[in-house]
């Protein structure tokens, strides 16, 4: 949408007015044949309803739009506009092409980042400072840290449990006669990150569930796990088998795969 005409000093040439929003052109684009210019946002919204020029109804689409001529861009850049923060006390009037630079430094900008000087040092938008409470903020930070620590401890405990479980399964594989040369690879493939594409995510496992009965799988003695060897499952395809094989561990007992 264009800039409010009342923000500008002096008269604004009618060629610089968007015929859709009646504001001064913002990010202007032009229809190539009729040469009518519009705010980019205005004409894009217009095209969501109809593929015609809003002025003369000639056929035009987003793909047809082109940047406005340099002379028009120069005319726009030289316009003098009041700061967006005039309602907050800023009296600055700047060239339109300098507006963004001014706004980033404008001391009247309610969203300008400021730092709390009462103790916590939190950076926040200026208009939030009057309602800021250091103690409340610091309590929130502590709670977030405690939550994060609890999550890390839970993850660490789960990882330790997984390693212990894998160690037991590894020993069972060795005791059952599995060649020592591939035991480590089978254990590494017990983690889903090493599974083939067809099993890599919950979504793909659900999609391929109808193929599970075709697997040749062996139960690991006394454990809630099975081993699926690639050499015994060549009929399953590369996206369902991992070399040299993989171990599937089930938390709630062995399921059919």
CA distance 233 to 227: 11
**pTM more than 0.85:** no
> What is the rounded distance in angstroms from the CA atom of residue 66 to the CA atom of residue 107?
37
List the domain boundaries for the chain: 5-78, 147-257
Q: DSSP state, 85?
A: G
Q: What is the pLDDT of residue 251?
A: 60
State phi, psi for 24 to the nearest 5 degrees: -70, 135
Q: Is the pLDDT of residue 82 over 50?
A: yes
Q: Identify any residues that bridge with 240 across adjacent strands, giving them in sequence order.
A: none
| Two structure tokens written together for 106 | 């404008």
Q: Is 99 exposed, middle or buried (0-12, 13-18, 19+ CB in 10 A)?
A: buried
Residue scoring higher pLDDT (189 or 147): 147
- Please check whether residue 54 is in contact with residue 92, taking contact to mean a CB–CB distance below 8 angstroms: no
Is a pLDDT exceeding 60 seen at residue 166? yes
CA distances from 134 to 62, 68, 122, 128, 172 (A): 50, 50, 8, 12, 57
Helices assigned H by DSSP within 52-133: 70-77, 99-105
106 Cβ contact list (under 8 Å, min separation 6): 83, 84, 85, 90, 92, 112
Closest CA to 132 of 142, 143, 117, 110: 117
Q: Which residue has the higher pLDDT, 233 or 254?
A: 233
Considering the domain 5-78 in this protein, what is its CATH number? Answer: 3.30.40.10
For residues 83 and 102, is the Cβ–Cβ distance under 8 A? Answer: yes
Buried b (16+ CB within 10 A) or exposed e, 235-247: ebeeebbbeebbb
| Token representation of residue 5 | 């005409």
pLDDT, tens digit (0-9, with 9 covering 90-100), for 7-25: 999 999 999 999 999 999 9
**What does the pLDDT read at residue 257?**
41
Cα 186 from Cα 164, distance rounded (Å): 15
CA distances 77 to 71, 84, 95, 188, Å, are: 10, 16, 6, 63
pLDDT of residue 253: 44
Q: What are phi and psi of 249, to 5 degrees?
A: -105, 130
228 and 165 Cβ atoms separated by less than 8 Å? no
């Amino acid at each position: 949408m264009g800039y409010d005409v009342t923000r500008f000093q002096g008269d604004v040439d009618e060629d610089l007015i968007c015929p859709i929003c009646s504001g001064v052109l913002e990010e202007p684009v032009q229809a190539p044949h009729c040469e009518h210019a519009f705010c980019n946002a205005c004409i894009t919204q217009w095209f969501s309803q109809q593929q015609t020029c809003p002025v003369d109804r000639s056929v035009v689409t987003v793909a047809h739009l082109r940047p406005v001529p340099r002379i028009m861009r120069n005319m726009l850049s030289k316009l003098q506009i009041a700061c967006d923060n005039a309602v907050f006390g800023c009296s600055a009037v700047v060239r339109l092409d300098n507006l963004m630079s001014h706004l980033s430094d404008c001391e009247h900008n309610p969203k300008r980042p400021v730092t709390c000087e009462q103790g916590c040092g939190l950076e926040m938008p200026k208009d939030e400072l009057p309602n800021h409470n250091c103690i409340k903020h610091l309590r929130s930070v502590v709670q977030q840290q405690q939550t994060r620590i609890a999550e890390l401890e839970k993850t660490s405990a789960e990882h330790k449990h997984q390693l212990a479980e894998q160690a037991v399964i590894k020993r069972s594989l060795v005791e059952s006669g599995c060649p020592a040369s591939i035991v480590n690879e089978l254990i590494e493939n017990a983690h889903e990150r090493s599974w083939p594409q067809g099993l890599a995510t919950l979504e793909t496992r659900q999609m391929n569930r109808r193929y599970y009965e075709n697997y040749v799988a062996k139960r690991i003695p006394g454990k809630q796990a099975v081993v699926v060897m690639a050499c015994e499952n060549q009929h399953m395809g590369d996206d369902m088998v991992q070399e040299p094989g993989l171990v599937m561990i089930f938390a709630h007992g062995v399921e059919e795969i």
